[in-house]
């Protein structure tokens, strides 16, 4: 990874910023009456090379590939400039990396980055890509890399080329269908053990072996997997599935995998090779499979089958209806960084060679966010409204489940499917009531509690009407 390449990526980022030249807080909508719509599904390999870091560099690097990590999605043409929606089997795409990835797909589709939504599924044996944090880490000279910039550059080129090839073979888009089904024994809330004041005492993680924590109720979840399907005549060509849970069964063993969420999607893909199946993780900041997952290898196929069965059930009674209207909306969000952050102290932590990697690489992500906020570079949220009764809502980072449930109340007449883990710059986004209650997620939330009101207002604008 040469200095020239880092400088090139930084210059490319700076040149792209005018694409976000909207007024903060202002909603933007473009509506198109259908009639000449077409759709282009795409898929490309996003598996990192052997030796690449996982989850920020504080768990073992990739040593073996158990199954491919992929980027999948679709392009809609005929609704103004092309629209792109994509899911990636990675831990996260943050800050500049998220923008660079969107720029690459936009170039392939012949559109602009503000008409591209990219979300990560959030498996942990996978990259957590942040160009800004990587530059901070690389400057230290002794820390494991967060992101192989040469690989990332090649991946963006692969995405651009794949999307361009897909657009050239687009098929007419005529109908959509929606469905949902309950998923059996996967999702559970992590924040269920509290004292009398409501403060967090202990938590279920992605896996849990504590009988007392396992015995506690599921807590607040969204039990449904939601499906939005796209048709060309009577042929289902794309099916997008949305479910809210951390998608890890076990990790930290250096084995690249799409884990149980990706494996369930791949199983469904094998059922219907003529339809591109895409999986999105919903608002799962405080949701995991911990109540039903002890972290053993035997549980991964069990969770896979439960999610697969939920996906199949959500598609059982799909009833295609003509697609007559497409609306794309965007809204910018620039939350305030936590006031408790002291950039000079974070820089010292990053440089403290007596500390373990996790206590040094993590501060690089925090500092990257602080500098982004100082530079006034907002997060771009979006929604894709289909007819007057369906909406895809695209949210950033690790939002709490309450935002997903709230979105459904904000648009009671719509079928709302929410994808989180978009731009991961802010890390966790709790609801404001949970900040005083502590717990892991609050400790690594990069925004002040006011982000709740800002995000809710943005969601209202994206889903209104």
pLDDT at 356 over 80: yes
- Given this model, what pLDDT does residue 47 score? 98
Kindly write down the DSSP assignment for every residue of 187-225, as one continuous string: -EES--EE-TTS-EEE---SS---HHHHHS---S---EE
| CB 108 within 8 Å of CB 162 | yes
**Backbone region of residue 275 per phi and psi (left: phi > 0; alpha: psi in -120 to 50; beta: other values):** beta
pLDDT tens readout for residues 27-48: 455 555 546 999 999 999 999 9
Beta-ladder partners of 325: 33
SS (H, E, C) 286-323: CEECHHHCCCCCCHHHHHHHHHHHHHHHHHCCCCCEEC
Average pLDDT over residues 329-335: 96
- Given this model, what pLDDT does residue 151 score? 98
pLDDT at 14 over 70: no
| CB 8 within 8 Å of CB 156 | no
Classify burial at 195, counting beta carbons within 10 Å of its beta carbon; exposed 0-12, middle 13-18, buried 19 or more: exposed
Classify burial at 250, counting beta carbons within 10 Å of its beta carbon; exposed 0-12, middle 13-18, buried 19 or more: buried
Which residue from 108, 88, 110, 85 is spatially nearest to 97, judged by alpha carbons? 88
| CB 123 within 8 Å of CB 249 | no
Question: Domain ranges in the chain?
Answer: 20-463
- Residue 168 burial (CB count, 10 A): 8
* Distance from C-alpha of 285 to C-alpha of 293, rounded to nearest angstrom: 17
* Distance from C-alpha of 398 to C-alpha of 256, rounded to nearest angstrom: 21
321-322 vs 175-182, strand pairing mode:
antiparallel
* Distance from C-alpha of 233 to C-alpha of 230, rounded to nearest angstrom: 10
- Given this model, what pLDDT does residue 424 score? 98
* Alpha helices in 34-124, H assignment, sequence order: 96-109
Looking at 2-11, 194-203, 428-437, 449-458, which range is the least confident one? 2-11
The tokens describing 126, both together, are 């996978």
* Distance from C-alpha of 25 to C-alpha of 234, rounded to nearest angstrom: 40
> What are the angstrom distances between the C-alpha of 329 and each of 326, 378, 425?
10, 16, 21
Query: Residue 74 carries which DSSP code?
Result: E
- Residue 345 burial (CB count, 10 A): 10
pLDDT at 26 over 70: no
pLDDT at 259 over 60: yes
Which residue from 312, 315, 107 is spatially nearest to 230, judged by alpha carbons? 315
- Given this model, what pLDDT does residue 119 score? 98
- Sign of the Cα torsion 52, 55, 61, 62 reads negative
Average pLDDT over residues 398-421: 97
Looking at 7-21, 113-127, 279-293, 307-321, which range is the least confident one? 7-21
Kindly write down the DSSP assignment for every residue of 101-123, as one continuous string: HHHHHHHHHTS-GGGEEEEE---
Q: 465 pLDDT band (50/70/90 cuts)?
A: confident
Average pLDDT over residues 191-204: 97
pTM (whole model) above 0.85: yes
| CB 88 within 8 Å of CB 46 | yes
Which residue from 258, 264, 270 is spatially nearest to 242, judged by alpha carbons? 264
* Distance from C-alpha of 110 to C-alpha of 100, rounded to nearest angstrom: 15
pLDDT tens readout for residues 272-312: 999 999 999 999 999 999 999 999 999 999 999 999 999 99
Q: Report helix, strand and coil shares of the chain as percent, to nearest 5.
A: 35, 30, 35
- Sign of the Cα torsion 398, 402, 404, 406 reads negative
| CB 206 within 8 Å of CB 292 | no
* Distance from C-alpha of 193 to C-alpha of 403, rounded to nearest angstrom: 21
Looking at 13-22, 63-72, 412-421, which range is the least confident one? 13-22
Average pLDDT over residues 154-182: 98
């Amino acid at each position: 990874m040469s200095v020239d390449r880092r400088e090139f990526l930084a210059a490319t980022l700076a040149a792209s910023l005018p694409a976000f030249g909207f007024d903060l807080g202002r909603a933007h909508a473009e509506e198109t009456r259908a009639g000449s719509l077409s759709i282009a599904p795409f898929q490309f390999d996003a598996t990192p090379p052997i030796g690449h870091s996982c989850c920020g560099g504080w768990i073992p690097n990739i040593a073996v590939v158990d199954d491919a990590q992929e980027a999948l999605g679709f392009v809609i043409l005929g609704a103004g400039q092309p629209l792109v929606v994509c899911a990636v089997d990675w831990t996260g795409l943050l800050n500049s990396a998220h923008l660079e990835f969107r720029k690459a797909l936009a170039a392939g589709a012949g559109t602009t980055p503000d008409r591209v939504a990219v979300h990560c599924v959030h498996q942990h044996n996978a990259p957590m890509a942040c160009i800004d944090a990587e530059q901070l880490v690389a400057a230290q000279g002794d820390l494991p890399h967060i992101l192989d910039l040469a690989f990332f550059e090649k991946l963006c080129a692969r995405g651009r080329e794949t999307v361009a090839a897909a657009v050239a073979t687009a098929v007419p888009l005529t109908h959509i269908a929606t469905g949902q089904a309950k998923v059996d024994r996967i999702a559970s809330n992590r924040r269920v053990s509290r004292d009398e004041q409501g403060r967090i005492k202990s938590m279920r993680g992605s896996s849990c072996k504590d009988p007392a924590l396992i015995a506690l109720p599921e807590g607040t979840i969204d039990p449904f997997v939601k499906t939005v399907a796209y048709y060309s005549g009577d042929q289902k060509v794309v099916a997008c599935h949305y479910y809210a849970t951390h998608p890890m069964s076990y990790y930290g063993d250096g084995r690249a995998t799409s884990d149980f969420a990706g494996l369930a999607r791949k199983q469904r893909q094998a059922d219907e090779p003529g339809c591109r199946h895409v999986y999105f993780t919903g608002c799962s900041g405080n949701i995991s499979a911990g109540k039903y997952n002890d972290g053993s290898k035997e549980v991964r196929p069990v969770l896979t089958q439960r999610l697969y069965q939920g996906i199949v059930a959500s598609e059982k009674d799909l009833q295609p209806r003509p697609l007559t209207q497409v609306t794309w909306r965007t809204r910018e969000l620039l939350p305030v960084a936590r006031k408790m952050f002291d950039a000079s102290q974070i820089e010292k932590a990053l440089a403290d060679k007596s500390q373990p990697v996790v206590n040094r690489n993590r501060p690089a992500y925090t500092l990257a966010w602080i500098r982004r906020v100082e530079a006034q570079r907002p997060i771009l949220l979006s929604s894709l409204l289909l007819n007057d009764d369906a909406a895809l809502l695209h949210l950033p980072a690790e939002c709490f489940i309450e935002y997903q449930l709230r979105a459904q109340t904000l648009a009671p007449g719509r079928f709302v499917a929410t994808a989180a883990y978009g731009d991961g710059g802010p890390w966790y986004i709790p609801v404001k009531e949970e900040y005083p209650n502590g717990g892991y997620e609050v400790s690594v939330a990069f925004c002040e509690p006011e982000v709740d009101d800002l995000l809710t207002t943005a969601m209202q604008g994206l889903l209104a009407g």
